[in-house]
Amino acid sequence: MNAPDVLARLAAAGIRLSPLPDGRLWAEPRAALNDDLRQLIRAHKVELLNALESNTLPDPAVECRRQRVLEMLAQRPGTRYAAVTDIEAEPDAVILALAIRGVGTCELRIPREKYDGVLLLDLIERHSGTVH
Q: What percent of the chain has pLDDT over 70?
A: 93
pLDDT at 131: 57
DSSP 130: -
| Residue 122 and residue 66 in one domain | yes
Write out pLDDT tens, residues 64-81: 888 889 889 999 998 888
Write out pLDDT tens, residues 25-42: 998 888 889 999 999 999
Domain count for the chain, please give it: 2
Judge whether 67 lies within some domain.
yes
Cα separation values, 121 from 14, 96, 117, Å: 28, 11, 6
Judge whether 8 lies within some domain.
yes
Q: How far is the C-alpha of 17 from the C-alpha of 53, rounded, in Å?
A: 11
Q: What are phi and psi of 75, to 5 degrees?
A: -75, -20
Judge whether 132 lies within some domain.
no
The whole-chain average pLDDT of the chain stands at 86
pTM: 0.56
pLDDT at 102: 85
CA 18-48-38 angle, to 5 degrees, is: 80
Q: What domain range includes position 99?
A: 60-127
